Structure 1
Amino acid sequence: MSATSYDAFPYPSSAYPRTHPDRLAVMATLYGIDPAPVERCRVLELGCGDGWNLISMAYGLPGGEFTGIDLASTPIERGIAFCQELGLRNVHLRQLDLLEAGDLGEFDYIIAHGLYSWVPEPVRRKILEVCARSLARNGVALISYNVYPGNHLRELVRGMMHYHAAHFVRPEEKIRQSRALVRFLADSQEPRELYHHLLDQEAKRLENYSDGALFHDDLNPLNQPFYFHEFMAQAAPHGFQFLAEAEVSDNFARHYSPRAEAALAELDPNDLVAHEQYLDFLRCRGFRHTLLCRQDQPRQKEMSPERVMLLRIAGEIRPATADADPRSLTPEIFHGPEGSQIETNDPVLKAALVHLGTLWPECISFSDLLEHAITVSGAPSDPESRSRAAESLAAELLQLLGAAFLEFRAHRLPVVRQPGATPRISALARLQLRVVHFVTSLRQSTVVMDDPLGHALARLLDGSRDRAMLKAELASEAAESGFTVTDEALETSLHKFARAALLEG
């Protein structure tokens, strides 16, 4: 499969939140490094496809500069057309063979997502060379790749798919037959057998995978996983050290058996690579989004609560009871994303969580959140008490970050939490809705538009229509599509868009 296969059969356009410079800046900050300000960052993406990942970043960061290169010309042309339609002048997309790339300039953040494991060794070496030459002194590079031991299991299935798919010519048929083979094999086993569970897991993954991703990832003859220590052995000669994983939860300790915990504790605390490698063994990890920084940067061994105080906080949080009293010591339950919940009786933390919920999807600086929480909770505000409250709140927020209960951000997103008189959804989302049923939010997350009213409404939200005009224009489409347009339904949809970080000011 040559690189030009991406011209003939496109990889799906997508935005990847883990690659956003804000995520990279947050992780760098937590580990003691002072990264470039996100608002004015310079970003390079290698193997950018049609550039949608960069385009969605650039749309929300007009003060930044974003450069993408890719070998395939068709996706680059498509991305340039996107930029022209959106009026983006801070995105520069180039069709370029990475092996022929010279000096690309200096960048604060470099991204190579979904590339390293799918190219030959000379290109992998060039990726690291480009990062070494072009990354700013305090910069962060993200390289994602398949890893062992998890990919040993996946390679078993991939080998069978390759053999079967070779009997067919058209990409669409290769994809259909690959899915069918794995499902057939899974259903042919006894349910209690380990082989059935392995095949069934892979069959379900392939059923939920897009055609383009399956074709270019799983059916790509170039698909080389690595053990983590092997990858770091390749990166270290280029002057890099391990910083963190872009998947936030991967940087926090999990609960293992007492025996496993004891074994991990015996590892050399200064050998970070060995520690991470043994964690991969324990987790059977199959993929990494590794962040690298230069070896002369003062990376701390642990994430620091003190560094939390430099960041902004956001959380889609609500108390279980409407009359939650932050001033009391009564335990309160708070609900977070995807059914998560916590219980706390700490007045300062309770006040902070309630406030974060009212602000969502906006964020707030740690200092402002602390000030609000101390005031609302009635906690002592003398300097010594305030300092203790700050240390405690920072440590608690860091734990909640690890539990995916809230978010840290390095900059303020251009979102609004309440729909205005003439609501406007991002131009990014309106562009996507012409061809697909999902959109990229201003948090760079994917939002599925599976409700007819919401889909029709979103296309009209260009900031030129008030509610009466929206309702009138939706009425004709409602009869065709079978949905009802009421004032309540309209308002519900608008507030849903606001909470999904789709509305802009």
Structure 2
Amino acid sequence: MSTNAYDVIGYPTTIIASTHPDRMATTATLHGMSPPPIATARVLELGGGDALNLIALAVAYPEAQFVSIDLAAAPVERGQLLAKRLALPNVEVRVGDIVAEAETLDQTFDYIIAHGVYAWVPAVVRTAIMKLIGRTLSPNGVAYISYNALPGGYLRLALRDMVLHHVEGIDDLQKRLSSARSYLSRFGQPRDPDLPGIGSLREEARAILRKQPEVLHHDELGEVFEPQALKDVVAVANAHGLSYLNETQPAMLGSGMLLDDEDETATDESAIVRRAQALDYELQRFFAQSMFVRTEAGPARRLDSAAVHGLWVSTEAIPIGQGRFEMPKGGFTVGDDQVSAVIAAAAAGLPAYVRIADHIAADDDERLLALVELYKAGAIMTHSAPAAAATASAEPCASPLARAMVRGSQEVVVTLDHSMLKLDDVAARAFLMLLDGTRDLPTLEREWLQTSHADTIGAEEALKTLIRNHLIQR
């Protein structure tokens, strides 16, 4: 067993929606590229911990291949046990040193993920990450690297220095964490009067306190914490044959491409990165989710509506009439009937995605670009391919990962569209456990009637609910 810090205090296990290869493939498509189909892709995650992020994808895409490596042995062992329990032949979870792997890994990958690693490792490892990606990324593949960014990261650096000073000399990890949280709690309380700069620091202290203690231990108080400026990350990438593509956040789409004719700036990579860095300064951005491609891939830097035409759409919006839609965090109105119809179809079709080409003509630039604006605003999501699972077979089978999580007494499960869903309804969890692929609907109905939950919801309606929530694999 190693003495890695993540063996001593484990990092909370989760999935990261922004790392989904579909996000990368969709953005690459908007840049005029032809990214590899995610259904059969090879995906690598660096610093994958217990690999839940990749295991969830391996369940959703059984024909794709996944490899997760991490230096810490304890989380890797947990991931190996979960993959074995789920009988997943398409995922490999193993211990690996990124610096060594950069020299020896001889496989090629279509999508590479390095989430929460780059700003928390020494420069030699950062260089190795880029070298490894440069060596192993397929010709039209996409790599994702997230990191605490500058200039916003300066706030975190200041708080880190303050907290490290406060906990100096405390060797016991639990006491160290408790003391750090107590200090942040005291410092985070607003004072009257407060100078603007101090106010920002106090607000950031409160944000850090909302994290789990283990995250504070590894992220802000870890041995290495070096937020990065986008331009510096790109410089290292360029040295290894990689070019900056864009950010995964829909609202940041303009970081990697020109979306209108108002900006006549040159569209070479250096000009794009200069614009993106200027945007980071304006936003005081502190966390980046940047994508990279091979330089020879030559991504387009102006949005072409033709690239939008071949995508799919999904939405959480609920139509409420006359182009008006409600969402969990507000609503919006669409003035064009045809665009509104696309969103309404996507809402009605869940969990399936709606193909844009089935609703809007290829030369209808105005409506296609309107969909991009709705994507940037968070009203819809665009996708490079149909949903991983959208219907139930004659003998419905729920996600084996979701069933394993419920069996482990967890209320929050991972869905097949790579999100977390709270199943706080006891009946929903009970019905989910019946869906192991051995029962047809009549059998399910008979067995469901024998349970104490039958008067809560019928079997057919329960199945429809689980389908809509992306929990049915087949």
TM-score, normalization: structure 2?
A: 0.89
Residues 18 and 246, structure 1, Cα contact 8 Å, conserved in 2: yes
1:284 aligns with 2:284: yes
1:338 aligns with 2:340: no
Q: How many residues align?
A: 459
Aligned residue in 1 for 2:52: 52
1:445 aligns with 2:419: yes
377, 385, 400: which one aligns with 1:427: 400
Q: State the alpha-carbon separation in 2 of the partners of residues 337 and 252 from structure 1.
A: 25
Inter-CA distance 312–189: structure 2 relative to 1 (3 Å threshold): same
1:248 aligns with 2:245: no
Aligned residue in 1 for 2:210: 208
Aligned residue in 2 for 1:329: none
* 1:471 to partner: Cα distance: 5.3
1:473 aligns with 2:451: yes
140, 151, 158: which one aligns with 1:156: 158
110, 115, 118: which one aligns with 1:113: 115
SS in 2 for 1:187: coil
Q: Deviations along 1:402-421, whole A, 9 cap, x unmatched?
A: 1111111122223336x788
* 1:430 to partner: Cα distance: 1.7
* 1:238 to partner: Cα distance: 0.8
Aligned residue in 2 for 1:274: 274
Aligned residue in 1 for 2:241: 239
Q: State the alpha-carbon separation in 2 of the partners of residues 200 and 425 from structure 1.
A: 45
Alignment of 1:340-379 (within 5 A): 340-344=331-335, 346-370=336-360
SS in 2 for 1:238: coil
Residues 316 and 361, structure 1, Cα contact 8 Å, conserved in 2: no
360, 377, 384: which one aligns with 1:410: 384
Q: Percent identity?
A: 29
* 1:295 to partner: Cα distance: 1.2
SS in 1 for 2:333: strand
Aligned residue in 1 for 2:14: 14
SS in 2 for 1:63: coil
* 1:196 to partner: Cα distance: 5.7
Residues 179 and 203, structure 1, Cα contact 8 Å, conserved in 2: no
Aligned residue in 2 for 1:256: none
Inter-CA distance 201–490: structure 2 relative to 1 (3 Å threshold): farther
Q: State the alpha-carbon separation in 1 of the partners of residues 433 and 160 from structure 2.
A: 40
Alignment of 1:23-38 (within 5 A): 23-38=23-38
1:303 aligns with 2:303: yes
Relative to structure 2, which stretch is displaced further, 442-451 or 459-468? Answer: 459-468
Alignment of 1:190-209 (within 5 A): 190=192, 192-194=194-196, 197-209=199-211
* 1:16 to partner: Cα distance: 1.1
Relative to structure 2, which stretch is displaced further, 95-104 or 214-223? Answer: 95-104
Relative to structure 2, which stretch is displaced further, 233-242 or 346-355? Answer: 346-355
SS in 2 for 1:111: strand
* 1:459 to partner: Cα distance: 4.2
Aligned residue in 1 for 2:131: 129
Q: Deviations along 1:474-502, whole A, 9 cap, x unmatched?
A: 45xxxxxxxxx634487776554333322
Q: Deviations along 1:407-450, whole A, 9 cap, x unmatched?
A: 11122223336x78875431111222315332111111111234
Gaps of 5+ in 1: 254-260, 325-331, 371-385, 476-484
Aligned residue in 1 for 2:171: 169
SS in 1 for 2:296: coil
Residues 114 and 145, structure 1, Cα contact 8 Å, conserved in 2: yes
* 1:186 to partner: Cα distance: 2.0
Aligned residue in 2 for 1:375: none
Residues 240 and 294, structure 1, Cα contact 8 Å, conserved in 2: yes
Q: Deviations along 1:371-411, whole A, 9 cap, x unmatched?
A: xxxxxxxxxxxxxxx554x4333222111111111111122
Residues 159 and 205, structure 2, Cα contact 8 Å, conserved in 1: no
Aligned residue in 2 for 1:258: none
Residues 147 and 287, structure 1, Cα contact 8 Å, conserved in 2: yes
SS in 1 for 2:68: strand
Q: State the alpha-carbon separation in 1 of the partners of residues 65 and 448 from structure 2.
A: 36
Q: State the alpha-carbon separation in 2 of the partners of residues 422 and 14 from structure 1.
A: 30
Q: State the alpha-carbon separation in 2 of the partners of residues 87 and 211 from structure 1.
A: 33
Q: State the alpha-carbon separation in 1 of the partners of residues 463 and 121 from structure 2.
A: 44
Q: State the alpha-carbon separation in 2 of the partners of residues 202 and 492 from structure 1.
A: 45
Q: Deviations along 1:253-289, whole A, 9 cap, x unmatched?
A: 8xxxxxxx9xx95865541111011000100000111
Q: State the alpha-carbon separation in 2 of the partners of residues 420 and 308 from structure 1.
A: 31
Inter-CA distance 128–414: structure 2 relative to 1 (3 Å threshold): closer
Inter-CA distance 472–420: structure 2 relative to 1 (3 Å threshold): farther
Residues 390 and 472, structure 2, Cα contact 8 Å, conserved in 1: yes
1:393 aligns with 2:367: yes
1:462 aligns with 2:452: no
Q: State the alpha-carbon separation in 1 of the partners of residues 172 and 468 from structure 2.
A: 42
Cα-Cα RMSD? 2.7
Aligned residue in 2 for 1:141: 143
Residues 115 and 145, structure 1, Cα contact 8 Å, conserved in 2: yes
Q: State the alpha-carbon separation in 1 of the partners of residues 385 and 78 from structure 2.
A: 29
Aligned residue in 1 for 2:64: 64
* 1:187 to partner: Cα distance: 2.1
Q: Deviations along 1:275-319, whole A, 9 cap, x unmatched?
A: 011000100000111101111112111232210112222223322
Relative to structure 2, which stretch is displaced further, 444-453 or 40-49? Answer: 444-453
Q: Deviations along 1:200-254, whole A, 9 cap, x unmatched?
A: 422432333123222211111201111111111111111111101112221148x
TM-score, normalization: structure 1?
A: 0.84
